[in-house]
Amino acid sequence: MNQQLKHTDTNTHFYSQKDIDRAWDNFLCSGGKSKNLPVRDLIASSWGRCLSLGVDPELKAAPLLATEGSLHVLRQKNAELMKCARPVLAQARVFLRDLETILVLTDYNGVNLDVVGDPKCIENALDIGVVSGCGFKETVSGSNAIGTAMATRLPTQVHGKEHFIQCFKSWTCTAGIITAPYDDQMIGVIDVSGLSNTFDKFHVPLVISWANQIQLSLSKNTSELWSIIQENSRCEFNNSHRNSGILLLDKQGRLIRHSQNVPTILASLDIEYDISSKRRLSLEQFGGDVITYPHDEGIWLQDGWIDPVKDNNEVIGFKIHLPVNKRLSQPATNHTNNVATKINNDPFHKISGQCDSIKASTDKARKAATTPLPILILGDTGVGKEMFARAIHEASNYSKGPFIDLNCGAFTKDILSSELFGHVEGAFTGAKKGGMMGKIEAANGGTLFLDEIGEMPLEIQPVFLRVLQERKIHRVGAIAPISVNFRLIAATNTYLKKEVAEGRFRKDLFFRLSTVAIALDPLSKREDDIEEIAQLVLKQVQESQEITPKRISPSLIKALKNRDWPGNIRELVNVVECMCYMSSNETLTINDLPAGYQPGESLINSTCEEDNFSDSLSNLDIAEQQTIENAIKEFGGNITQAAKNLGIAKGTLYRKMKKYNLDNPR
């Protein structure tokens, strides 16, 4: 998209340099509260942003953001931009020599990729830090043509005293943004700078012309590349693709073409990827380019969906085959007679609840079950995460395979690694004779359910992530890999985003796991479901055990609804089962509630056989309690270090501290 002069105010001579300098002093002294400054609105707005961002106006030079090694990587990531800018850089070397100015090319973050032009001006620019790798974004270098052009997406000229930082005030600079023809994404900036005496309004159309020249080159290269990709892809984009939807992309994640059924399939798979937005899709994990600007992470992509497109054995793009979400349907003629059969065949009919939230979660789970996508179930302890996981498994294409579950918080790091991946004989002291198959391998062809995934130690997380990406495992101590194909369902009662932010859980694994996230509300938010669950438990107990048929009184239902149920469904089930077995009455009333559950009572304050906690501890419990206390004291209350020393997960240590009523001494 060509840039237009009329969209920006470049009349830098409207106010005198002396007036602008005085305005700058007043602006800083007033903390930005000065009004009606004798400066252009463009500059006043920029100064305001810089002040709010805490930019130091006394900086002596532009900060260096990329050293030699990282600058090399940065240039590689911006290889296409630099290639298309070469003719402009060549022109600038000659043209700017006589104008005592330089040309600066930056990436989309305002980091300087290259500087060319008058040698003397290049030398002068060193004094203010203008070198390859320095940064010009307003957040680090204040008001300047590059940073302000990035902030406004307009051609910008900043002259002399208009700069926010003192060291730039003897310079003049003019910049225009470079956008990608595909999605109008700003991918770089081109700037002409020199000492103040070189100021010229002609620099504005010059940088716009050069920016447009680079954009035309980018457009031409993209068009040529896409033609080659389409020739080598052998794709037909008609309506004949009944088994999959097809997307064709280049290595930068730009969508070239797609079959007409793609939007429908994406919706059926519950994938939030809008093909009309032109948002780039990261294919880095499959060999695509690293995308340095905002994009879709592509975590929802599955290995089996990707086919590389090659030209002369070099990957130039990718075909994505989206599987059709096949929905089973019964013949219309048998609809009435088969309603009961359908309900009984629906794995989700076992999940009780009529409240809106549980219905929404069940509908989402039912839809996700027919996809191969990983699923993350979120909810407090006891809300029924495993029941959801089993229903998803039974409704999926993996239902004929095994359902293998593992609690990640129940083992030490080494034992969990062995449980997950298995081991060969002699892999470590205590290894089973003949080796052992791990849970992942055992789940081959079926579903692996990992409960308390947030407790998985950091050291294991990258290994597990690789398994998800490559679908291969190595038993501990083994050399040869074992191919596996399984459906992953994970669950947690922790706030994983916080764990990621605090460095306790890998961001890439979180994105991989949370492709489809299903949140289950606690029972305290599902008051209307309490009676249904209680009646269901009552029915199940009576059907499975020889007990006198019972019913639940209205007053008992009311009492059950008035409790918070911190243990959620699991706690409610235990209470109802206890009443069924312990009461000889045909009608269960409030009087049949266990100790601690009577209206107004709490488990903490109730009197029961276990009130004296220390008396209920076994010798083994006492030894464990003492060991934990000693470890916590030894590491000064550092739970992470204490857990590591004990060889258990931190979450496990917290639970044991709660069990033994231990406080953190810190």
Q: Are 147 and 49 in contact (CB under 8 A)?
A: no
User: What is the enclosing helix (H) or strand (E) of 245?
Assistant: strand 244-250
On whether both 396 and 292 belong to a single domain, the answer is: no
Among candidate residues 484, 500, 519, the one where a domain is terminated: 519
d(CA 135, CA 129): 9
On whether both 482 and 507 belong to a single domain, the answer is: yes
Q: Are 233 and 226 in contact (CB under 8 A)?
A: no
User: Model confidence at 122, in pLDDT bands (50, 70, 90)?
Assistant: very high
Asked if residue 341 belongs to a domain, the reply is: no
Asked if residue 247 belongs to a domain, the reply is: yes
On whether both 515 and 534 belong to a single domain, the answer is: no
At residue 174, the pLDDT reads 95
- Answer yes or no: is pLDDT of 247 > 50: yes
On whether both 166 and 19 belong to a single domain, the answer is: yes
Asked if residue 481 belongs to a domain, the reply is: yes
- Structural domain span for residue 561: 526-592
At residue 593, the pLDDT reads 87
d(CA 124, CA 66): 20
Give the whole-number percent of the chain exceeding pLDDT 90. 29
Adjacent-strand bridge partners of 586: none
- The total domain count for the chain is 5
User: Model confidence at 1, in pLDDT bands (50, 70, 90)?
Assistant: very low
Tens digits of residue pLDDT in 580-612: 877 778 888 888 888 778 887 665 445 444 444
Adjacent-strand bridge partners of 483: 472
At residue 602, the pLDDT reads 61
On whether both 394 and 490 belong to a single domain, the answer is: yes
Task: List Cβ neighbours of 441 (8 Å cut-off, separation of 6 or more).
Answer: 421, 422, 473, 475, 482, 484
On whether both 199 and 108 belong to a single domain, the answer is: yes
User: What does the pLDDT average to over 288-296?
Assistant: 82
Choice between 616 and 101, residue whose per-residue pLDDT is larger: 101
d(CA 155, CA 271): 38
Q: Are 345 and 484 in contact (CB under 8 A)?
A: no
Nearest to 299 by CA among 280, 318, 317, 285: 285
d(CA 200, CA 209): 15
d(CA 474, CA 481): 5
- Answer yes or no: is pLDDT of 662 > 90: no
Report the Cα 406 to chain-centroid distance in Å.
Answer: 24
Burial code of 253-282, b = ≥16 C-beta within 10 A, e = fewer? bbbbebbebbeebbebbbbebeeeeebbbb
Asked if residue 606 belongs to a domain, the reply is: no
d(CA 74, CA 168): 25
User: What does the pLDDT average to over 2-22?
Assistant: 66
Asked if residue 44 belongs to a domain, the reply is: yes
User: Model confidence at 341, in pLDDT bands (50, 70, 90)?
Assistant: very low
At residue 659, the pLDDT reads 72
Q: Could you tell me the CATH number of the domain that includes residue 556? A: 1.10.8.60
At residue 660, the pLDDT reads 77
User: Model confidence at 431, in pLDDT bands (50, 70, 90)?
Assistant: low
On whether both 93 and 201 belong to a single domain, the answer is: yes
Choice between 415 and 309, residue whose per-residue pLDDT is larger: 309
Would the CA dihedral through 333, 339, 345, 351 be positive or negative? positive
Type of residue at 245:
G
Asked if residue 608 belongs to a domain, the reply is: no
On whether both 357 and 313 belong to a single domain, the answer is: no
User: Model confidence at 46, in pLDDT bands (50, 70, 90)?
Assistant: very high
Q: Could you tell me the CATH number of the domain that includes residue 97? A: 3.30.450.40
User: Model confidence at 545, in pLDDT bands (50, 70, 90)?
Assistant: low
Nearest to 80 by CA among 110, 117, 105, 115: 105
At residue 498, the pLDDT reads 87
Token pair for 396 = 């999926």
On whether both 265 and 176 belong to a single domain, the answer is: no
d(CA 373, CA 298): 12
Among candidate residues 500, 519, 538, the one where a domain is terminated: 519
Tens digits of residue pLDDT in 184-207: 889 999 999 999 988 888 889 999
Tens digits of residue pLDDT in 125-161: 999 999 999 999 999 999 999 999 999 999 999 999 9
At residue 638, the pLDDT reads 79
Q: Are 492 and 389 in contact (CB under 8 A)?
A: no
Q: Could you tell me the CATH number of the domain that includes residue 380? A: 3.40.50.300
At residue 374, the pLDDT reads 92
Asked if residue 309 belongs to a domain, the reply is: yes
At residue 193, the pLDDT reads 94
- Answer yes or no: is pLDDT of 224 > 50: yes
Q: Are 1 and 179 in contact (CB under 8 A)?
A: yes
| DSSP one-letter code for 483 | E
Q: Are 134 and 107 in contact (CB under 8 A)?
A: no
On whether both 445 and 588 belong to a single domain, the answer is: no
User: Model confidence at 249, in pLDDT bands (50, 70, 90)?
Assistant: very high
At residue 76, the pLDDT reads 86
Task: List Cβ neighbours of 453 (8 Å cut-off, separation of 6 or more).
Answer: 376, 408, 490, 491, 492, 496, 513
Neighbours of 477 (CB within 10 A): 16
User: Model confidence at 172, in pLDDT bands (50, 70, 90)?
Assistant: very high
Q: Looking at 175-189, 395-409, 620-634, which range is the least confident one?
A: 620-634
Give the CA count within 13 Å in the CB-facing half-sphere of 468: 29
User: Model confidence at 215, in pLDDT bands (50, 70, 90)?
Assistant: very high
On whether both 647 and 543 belong to a single domain, the answer is: no
Tens digits of residue pLDDT in 472-521: 888 877 777 888 999 999 999 888 888 898 888 999 899 889 888 999 98
Q: Are 181 and 134 in contact (CB under 8 A)?
A: no
Q: Could you tell me the CATH number of the domain that includes residue 637? A: 1.10.10.60
Q: Where are the alpha helices (DSSP H) in 53-137?
A: 68-77, 79-95, 119-126
Neighbours of 581 (CB within 10 A): 9
Q: Looking at 188-197, 424-433, 622-631, which range is the least confident one?
A: 424-433
Tens digits of residue pLDDT in 644-659: 667 666 667 777 787 7
Choice between 340 and 518, residue whose per-residue pLDDT is larger: 518
Q: Which residue has the tokens 């305290």?
A: 524
On whether both 490 and 461 belong to a single domain, the answer is: yes
Tens digits of residue pLDDT in 449-458: 999 999 899 9
Asked if residue 331 belongs to a domain, the reply is: no
User: What is the enclosing helix (H) or strand (E) of 41?
Assistant: helix 41-52
To the nearest whole number, what is the mean pLDDT of the chain?
83
Q: Which residue has the tokens 């639940």?
A: 552
